Amino acid sequence: MNNEALKELLYKMADDQLILGHRNSEWTGFGPLLEEDIAFSSMAQDKVGHSLALYTILQELGEQDPDTVAFTRNAEQFHNSLLTELPNGEYDFSLIRHFLYDTAEALRFEMLTQSSFEPLAQLSAKIRGELRYHTMHANTWIKQLGSATTESITRLQKSLEYALPYALGMFEKSPFENALISEGIFAGEQVLEDKWKRKVEEVLAQTQLQLPAWDTITPHLGGRVGKHTEHLQPLLDEMSEVLRIDPTAEW
Amino acid sequence: MSKPSLEKVYQWLEEVKDPEIPVLSLVDLGVITNVTISDKVRIEMTPTFVGCPAIDYMKNDIIETLNKHGQEAEVDINFKKSWSSDLISEKGKIALKKFGLAPPPDSKLFTDLEILENAECPRCSKTNTELRNPFGPTLCRAIFYCNDCKEAFEQFKPV
């Protein structure tokens, strides 16, 4: 099995989960209503847990231990998509991002239940079940607020248009795309992107939100190769603050 | 120390409880996926949720309990057999209800949030209830409200 290709895939998935998990956790104590505060906090815990499981597989493939990998790399060593690192903004943006990201995330893990790399297939089967709660949560709110008041629709529409180029950046092709496909590890970003577009269309069609034509959107790429926005490094600094103050701290 | 029987090991594992639901043993929770006995007791287990923060606590608890019974133990956490709420035993479901947590419905029925709308209230056993939040105080719980008891209750989520 092509280990380099596999590691690249695992790193970008783990980094996506860790970074968006951290962003979600920033809603703890600040949610627009208590239920949403709890929902984003729970999804944060799930996603950070998923990143730990993925980093653990990477460790078994010879990489450093999960804490070292999570807390000591710089921004340019991270492979998360730009979408996940953007600041939370207001609730409308966080909700749109949650919908666009989690739809892709759920489809990716669904596809990976068929992976020829057994540890990833097993983990994906488990994660797939958990993500049903995330996508249902996103879809429920998008459908409600996407058809509610002029303000909710206008806000979501604006955030949708802002987020879409970043969302397409999630499917930035890996240099190992062919190896991943031919070895049956992962069916590839193109297949995922197509499935994701169909799902996004299906949900948005049940709202008053307008989806621009796909060919009018230019993807914001770079995250997968370590070219990040100015927002990632401050997030990493905050995340690793305790470790940098006291590397021997236990928590 | 002689080699214990498989039955004996499971009996000991009954003593180890879910730290967040102290009435439910790890055996009834369905997280023990394999036990083999050779020079030491080897236990395989799987978390309820991948991000469950209690997993290391449970692992240490298993080792301590088996040590107490004079056994050397090794615990391997893996995803070979995926946990589902359907793995909670009937005995476990009764314990959950007594504890005040609605037991999970069949996870195969769960395709839509609407399915989750009417859980059975663990106090009055009626279903005049509504889902308040699919996310609760721990990853494995959802929050409901009973319109008859006029009180909130938690459900162990189907997954």
pLDDT of res. B137: 87
pLDDT of res. B112: 59
A65, two tokens: 């231990």
The residue of chain A nearest to residue B108, with distances taken between CA atoms, is A129
What are the strands of the beta sheet with B73-77, ordered from one edge?
B32-37, B41-45, B73-77
pLDDT of res. B110: 63
Are B136 and A42 an interchain contact pair (Cβ–Cβ within 8 Å)?
yes
d(CA B99, CA B21): 8
More confident call, B38 vs B114 = B38
Q: How far is A140 from chain B (nearest CA, A)?
A: 8
Domain regions of chain B by residue span: 6-83, 101-156
Q: How far is B148 from chain A (nearest CA, A)?
A: 22
pLDDT digits (tens, 9 = 90+) for B73-97: 999 999 999 999 999 999 999 999 9
The length of chain A is 251
Distance from CA of residue A204 to its chain's centroid?
Answer: 19
pLDDT of res. B105: 87
* Most B CBs within 10 Å, among A41, A98, A130, A141, to test the B interface: A130
Mean pLDDT score of chain A: 96
pLDDT of res. B53: 87
Give the model's confidence band at A248: pLDDT under 50 very low, under 70 low, under 90 confident, else very high: confident
* Residues A201 and A194 sit within 8 Å (Cβ to Cβ): no
d(CA B9, CA A92): 52
Please enumerate in sequence order all residues whose Cβ is within 8 A of that of A141, keeping only pairs 6 or more positions apart, or say none. Answer: A95, A99
Hey, which bits of chain B come out as E strands? 17-18, 21-25, 32-37, 41-45, 73-77, 101-102, 129-133, 141-146, 151-156
Give the model's confidence band at B114: pLDDT under 50 very low, under 70 low, under 90 confident, else very high: low
SS3 assignment, position A249: coil
Q: How far is B78 from chain A (nearest CA, A)?
A: 9
* Chain A residues within 8 A of B112 when measuring between CB atoms: 136
- The identity of residue B122, as a single letter, is P
Give the residue-averaged pLDDT of A109-128: 97
* Chain A residues within 8 A of B107 when measuring between CB atoms: 129
pLDDT of res. B111: 61
Report percent pLDDT > 90 for chain B: 75
Q: How far is B80 from chain A (nearest CA, A)?
A: 6
d(CA A120, CA A113): 7
Are A137 and B84 an interchain contact pair (Cβ–Cβ within 8 Å)?
no
Are B135 and A126 an interchain contact pair (Cβ–Cβ within 8 Å)?
no
Instruction: Provide the chain A residues 99-128 that lie in CB contact (below 8 A) with chain B.
Output: 119, 122-123, 125-127
Are B51 and A122 an interchain contact pair (Cβ–Cβ within 8 Å)?
no
pLDDT at A32 over 80: yes
Give the residue-averaged pLDDT of A181-188: 98
Are B50 and A49 an interchain contact pair (Cβ–Cβ within 8 Å)?
yes
CATH topology for the B6-83 domain: GMP Synthetase; Chain A, domain 3 (3.30.300)
* Most A CBs within 10 Å, among B135, B139, B140, B155, to test the A interface: B135
Ordered by where they begin, the domains of chain A are: 3-245 (1.20.1260.10)
pLDDT at A247 over 90: no
pLDDT of res. B106: 84
pLDDT digits (tens, 9 = 90+) for B59-75: 999 999 999 999 999 99
pLDDT of res. A77: 98
pLDDT at A59 over 90: yes
Mean pLDDT score of chain B: 91
Q: How far is A148 from chain B (nearest CA, A)?
A: 19
Please enumerate in sequence order all residues whose Cβ is within 8 A of that of A130, keeping only pairs 6 or more positions apart, or say none. Answer: A46, B49, B50, B139, B159
Residues of B with CB under 8 A from a CB of A: 46, 49-53, 78-80, 82-84, 107, 110, 112-113, 132-137, 139, 143, 157, 159
pLDDT digits (tens, 9 = 90+) for B10-53: 999 999 999 989 999 999 999 999 999 999 999 999 999 999 88
The tokens 């230019």 sit on which residue? Answer: A218
pLDDT of res. B102: 94
- Which residue among A119, A125, A136 places its CB closest to the CB of B82? A125
Any B CB within 8 A of A14 CB: no
- Which residue among A35, A130, A137 places its CB closest to the CB of B50? A130
* Residues B130 and B145 sit within 8 Å (Cβ to Cβ): yes
Give the model's confidence band at B107: pLDDT under 50 very low, under 70 low, under 90 confident, else very high: confident
* Residues B71 and B36 sit within 8 Å (Cβ to Cβ): no
How many Cβ pairs closer than 8 A exist between chain A and B?
Answer: 71
What are the strands of the beta sheet with B151-156, ordered from one edge?
B101-102, B151-156, B141-146, B129-133
* Residues A95 and A238 sit within 8 Å (Cβ to Cβ): no
pLDDT of res. B118: 77
Report percent pLDDT > 90 for chain A: 96
pLDDT of res. B113: 56
pLDDT digits (tens, 9 = 90+) for A66-92: 999 999 999 999 999 999 999 999 999
d(CA B156, CA B106): 11
ipTM of the complex: 0.87
pLDDT of res. B50: 95
